Amino acid sequence: METILGIDLGTTNSVVSLIQNGKPIVVRDGAGSTILPSVVGFDQAGRLLVGQEARNQALLAPERTVKSVKRQMGDETKITLGEQQYSPQEVSAMILRTLKERAEQALGQTLSKAVITVPAFFNDKQRQATREAGELAGLEVVRIINEPTAAALTYEPHSEKNERLLVYDLGGGTFDVSIVQIERGVVEVLSSHGDTHLGGDDFDELLLNYVCDQFEDEHGVDPRETPAARSRLLQAVEEAKKRLSDEAFTTIAEEFIATKNGSPLNLNMEIDRLDYEDLIRSLLDKTVTCVDAALEDAKLTAQQIDRVILVGGSSRTPLVRQLLKDQLKHDPHLEVDPDLCVAMGAAVQGALIAGVDVGPVLVDITPHTLGVRCVGDLNGRYSDRLFSPVIQRNTPLPAVRSEIYYTGVDGQEAAQVEIYQGEHDDATFNERVGELLLEGLADDADAGSEILVRFHLNLDGILTVAVAERETGLEKQVTLENAITRFRASSRDEAKSKLAAMFNDSDTESLGAATRIAATSTDPAGGDNRVEASRVAELLAKARRLLANASSEDADEMRELIVQLQESTASGETDRAELIADQLSDLVFYLEDA
Ligand code: AMP
């Protein structure tokens, strides 16, 4: 059976997992470590360092080292490392490539496919950049899934009954909270909220400033001003912060952290957990507000949540548990390792795609509303900036939705469709993610003729928009301009070669060659069926969800098709299953659009 890696590409640490004997395991490096610090750098001789080695040199050579690159994924920025500049995708690819090699060494075979996790709140650009990074690392990214959803996938329900989980994921750079329902083996995300720029890194900054302010008050010198000292202190406060999760107070001691009048100054400071908690409380309050919003979106109360699951290193902070307990009247569960469960869940998802039955099936949702800009009433005023949603936030994926719009003038020649992502009524406050121009409209058409806009959002969160003139059938479609398409083929090849050289590949072709070997070693016929297995499961989950609101006639037909589909897949009648799946898809599609 083909192995699909599960990768948690974290802001601070990354983890790779794969399925062995039907269970997800985390792959360790030669020294036995389960995590890989998400830090990349070059040593003095220009040798690439990824992980702990890079983290170690961050102190001495911050100009040759980069951390938390995940925060820049999807941005157009370049990261300077020594003499060279890299895109965030390229830096992430170095981390992914290292994890891929770690897993290959453990298994003794070439691996070329992965499921990679992203925060639920990552937008389309950030997801595309992640996919791009995987591709640069020689990995086919078979699915991108949300981190909290992945965490829920490692959770094995103890009973047949419907369970509702609240997954609170606070990592180094991002925060997500999701309400997840597990029912008869199907995992469904009911709602999701978060902040892509909130996490342990912010706590480190706050603590650093607290320490440095006190030091400056005492000595009149600010150690933050020297990059090397700042970097050393940042590492020291992070370690202190972690100790404060277990201890009521701790000491930060750093020698020769600054100089005054030519004499070296040492830092020696005791930090009380309560003082630290005061520093971070407002940020944690923000996360609790998100928890409330997620519950509200899922139309649930705290009492209706069965379990609270903590994910991400920063969720080890005692104040997190305290605030959640106060708010939800639940003791959070600690049975799943918060550092490892996301990668393990991604491996579970990979196994599901490969057709291995390891656990519940995933139904994912879109975290943002997607829609178009149009003319209409915006807060009582006639405006051309009205945001008209097409796919609402929290819609299960894959989703297909259409809306009808109207031309504004007689003989209008073209329809300009601007696509936005966000929740604001004024489109210009949302993120503009693409546009499409449908030219050559019927010249005799009056104002008010219909333009059909259809959005198809796939399981990876990639959006295809089709626009058609209803009357003539004139149609145009676009798969959104994104990081991949902007990253032109030439620069992608160049980046691949650069990466291959850094990893000492014998020649630049070897990345591609590794991919080819793995691809031909899989059984193509079996491959189709394996993909089918997860499609069927998703279809069944969708159909079941629609049962409640369907008319009794439709519901009867759907139940019948569900039973037939289960029987035919169980007995291996693939042709029949295919036929029934098509019928059920049509019915689901019709009911969803109704
Ligand atoms: P992640 O992105 O999930 O790997 O989480 C990394 C973040 O968790 C970093 O900001 C770490 O400093 C933080 N972290 C790790 N262990 C602890 C701990 N014991 N207490 C508080 N924060 C921690």
Task: Choose from 171-185, 271-285, 390-404 the range with maximum mean pLDDT.
Answer: 271-285
* CA gap 190, 365 in Å, rounded: 8
- Under 8 Å between Cβ of 189 and 150: no
* CA gap 178, 191 in Å, rounded: 6
Q: Where are the alpha helices (DSSP H) in 329-402?
A: 341-354
SS3 content of the chain, % helix, strand, coil (to 5): 40, 30, 30
* CA gap 457, 401 in Å, rounded: 9
Measured in angstroms, how far is the CA atom of residue 200 from the centroid of ligand 1?
6
Cβ(242) – ligand 1 distance below 6 Å: yes
Same domain, 71 and 153: yes
| Cβ atoms < 10 Å from Cβ of 83 | 8
- pLDDT of 362: 57
Q: Whose CA is nearest to atom 9 of ligand 1?
A: 172
- pLDDT of 335: 61
Consecutive H or E run containing 591:
helix 574-593
| Cβ atoms < 10 Å from Cβ of 37 | 21
- pLDDT of 497: 76
- pLDDT of 240: 97
* CA gap 188, 70 in Å, rounded: 26
- pLDDT of 156: 60
- At residue 352, what are phi and psi to the nearest 5 degrees? -65, -40
Quick one: which atom of ligand 1 is closest to the CA of 170? 3
CATH code, 26: 3.30.420.40
Is 70 known to be catalytic?
A: yes
Last-in-domain residue among 477, 500, 523: 500
Residue 512 lies in a domain: no
- pLDDT of 518: 23
* CA gap 59, 230 in Å, rounded: 8
- Using DSSP's 3-state secondary structure scheme, residue 340 falls into coil
Question: Is the pTM above the cut of 0.85?
Answer: no
- pLDDT of 487: 43
**All residues at 6 or more sequence positions from 141 whose CB lies less than 8 Å from its CB, including other chains:** 113, 114, 115, 116, 130, 131, 134, 135, 460
The angle subtended at Cα 440 by Cα 434 and Cα 441, nearest 5°, is: 90
Size of the chain, expressed as the number of residues it contains: 594
- Using DSSP's 3-state secondary structure scheme, residue 107 falls into helix
**All residues at 6 or more sequence positions from 172 whose CB lies less than 8 Å from its CB, including other chains:** 10, 11, 12, 13, 38, 68, 199, 200, 201, 312, 313, 314
- Under 8 Å between Cβ of 317 and 245: yes
* Spatial CA neighbour of 239 closest among 502, 59, 422: 59
Cβ(148) – ligand 1 distance below 6 Å: no
- pLDDT of 548: 72
Cβ(13) – ligand 1 distance below 6 Å: yes
When pLDDT is cut at 50, 70 and 90, the band that residue 77 belongs to is very high
- pLDDT of 185: 62
- pLDDT of 511: 30
Residue 508 lies in a domain: no
pLDDT tens digits for 500-542? Answer: 777 766 433 333 322 222 222 223 233 333 335 656 777 777 7
Share of the chain above pLDDT 90, in %: 47
β-bridge mates for residue 167, sequence order: 178, 309
- pLDDT of 483: 30
Same domain, 162 and 20: yes
Catalytic residue among 2, 29, 124, 147: 147
Catalytic residue among 67, 70, 241, 542: 70
Is 135 known to be catalytic?
A: no
Assess whether pLDDT exceeds 70 at residue 115: yes
CA 181 to chain centre: 19
- Using DSSP's 3-state secondary structure scheme, residue 582 falls into helix
Same domain, 91 and 234: no
Is 8 known to be catalytic?
A: yes
Per the omega criterion (within 30 degrees of 0), is the bond before 119 cis?
no
Cβ(316) – ligand 1 distance below 6 Å: yes
**Angle, nearest 10°, between helix axes 489-502 and 510-520?**
100
* CA gap 201, 86 in Å, rounded: 22
* CA gap 16, 21 in Å, rounded: 17
Residue 360 lies in a domain: no
- Under 8 Å between Cβ of 97 and 72: no
Residue 515 lies in a domain: no
Same domain, 333 and 206: no
- Using DSSP's 3-state secondary structure scheme, residue 389 falls into strand
pLDDT tens digits for 537-580? Answer: 777 777 877 877 788 778 888 888 887 887 777 666 777 777 78
pLDDT tens digits for 222-267? Answer: 999 998 899 899 999 999 999 998 888 899 999 999 999 999 999 9
β-bridge mates for residue 36, sequence order: 14
Last-in-domain residue among 500, 525, 541: 500
Share of the chain above pLDDT 70, in %: 88
- pLDDT of 339: 87
Measured in angstroms, how far is the CA atom of residue 171 from the centroid of ligand 1?
6
Measured in angstroms, how far is the CA atom of residue 63 from the centroid of ligand 1?
24
If one counts the domains in the chain, the total is 4
Q: Whose CA is nearest to atom 15 of ligand 1?
A: 313
Measured in angstroms, how far is the CA atom of residue 299 from the centroid of ligand 1?
31
Measured in angstroms, how far is the CA atom of residue 301 from the centroid of ligand 1?
29
Cβ(88) – ligand 1 distance below 6 Å: no
Average pLDDT, the chain: 84
Same domain, 37 and 167: yes
- pLDDT of 431: 87
Is 169 known to be catalytic?
A: yes
Residue indicated by tokens 């070997």: 517
Catalytic residue among 2, 29, 169, 238: 169
Q: How far apart, in Å, are the Cα atoms of 408 and each of 54, 84, 415, 435?
A: 58, 51, 9, 18
Measured in angstroms, how far is the CA atom of residue 371 from the centroid of ligand 1?
36
Residue 359 lies in a domain: no
Cβ(317) – ligand 1 distance below 6 Å: yes
- Under 8 Å between Cβ of 67 and 58: yes
pLDDT tens digits for 398-422? Answer: 788 878 899 999 999 999 999 999 8
* DSSP assigned state of 377: E
H helices, E strands: number in the chain:
15, 26
Task: Choose from 63-67, 455-459, 480-484, 551-555 the range with maximum mean pLDDT.
Answer: 63-67
Same domain, 328 and 220: no
Measured in angstroms, how far is the CA atom of residue 338 from the centroid of ligand 1?
9
Domain that holds residue 65: 5-198+286-353
Same domain, 168 and 212: no
Same domain, 434 and 490: yes
Assess whether pLDDT exceeds 80 at residue 97: yes
When pLDDT is cut at 50, 70 and 90, the band that residue 10 belongs to is very high
* CA gap 93, 421 in Å, rounded: 27
- pLDDT of 529: 36
Testing ligand 1's pocket by substitution, the residue of 7, 9, 11, 12 carrying the most ligand atoms inside 8 A of its CB is: 12
Q: Whose CA is nearest to atom 18 of ligand 1?
A: 242
Cβ(38) – ligand 1 distance below 6 Å: no
- At residue 455, what are phi and psi to the nearest 5 degrees? -110, 135
Give me the amino acid identity at 289. Answer: T
- pLDDT of 270: 94
Quick one: which atom of ligand 1 is closest to the CA of 244? 20
**All residues at 6 or more sequence positions from 113 whose CB lies less than 8 Å from its CB, including other chains:** 2, 3, 4, 5, 139, 140, 141, 142, 350, 518
Same domain, 174 and 210: no
**All residues at 6 or more sequence positions from 233 whose CB lies less than 8 Å from its CB, including other chains:** 208, 211, 212, 223, 224, 254, 257, 267
- Using DSSP's 3-state secondary structure scheme, residue 397 falls into coil
- pLDDT of 489: 53
Cβ(12) – ligand 1 distance below 6 Å: yes
Same domain, 56 and 142: yes
- Using DSSP's 3-state secondary structure scheme, residue 8 falls into strand
Residue 494 lies in a domain: yes
Backbone Cα Rg of the chain: 26
Q: Extract the tokens encoding 504.
A: 């000492």
Same domain, 274 and 293: no
Same domain, 254 and 182: no
- At residue 547, what are phi and psi to the nearest 5 degrees? -55, -45
Q: Average pLDDT of 61-69?
A: 92
Q: Average pLDDT of 379-389?
A: 91
Consecutive H or E run containing 219:
helix 200-219
What secondary structure does DSSP assign to 529-548, as a single string?
HHHHHHHHHHHHHHHHHHHT
Residue 417 lies in a domain: yes
* Spatial CA neighbour of 574 closest among 481, 236, 582: 582
Residue 43 lies in a domain: yes
Considering only residues 76 and 518, tell me which one the structure prediction assigns the higher pLDDT.
76
- Under 8 Å between Cβ of 236 and 224: no
* CA gap 77, 73 in Å, rounded: 9
* DSSP assigned state of 579: H
Q: Average pLDDT of 303-317?
A: 90
Q: Whose CA is nearest to atom 1 of ligand 1?
A: 171
- pLDDT of 192: 86
Quick one: which atom of ligand 1 is closest to the CA of 246? 19
- pLDDT of 160: 63
CATH code, 258: 3.90.640.10
Last-in-domain residue among 306, 328, 353: 353
Cβ(200) – ligand 1 distance below 6 Å: yes
- pLDDT of 571: 65
Assess whether pLDDT exceeds 80 at residue 121: no
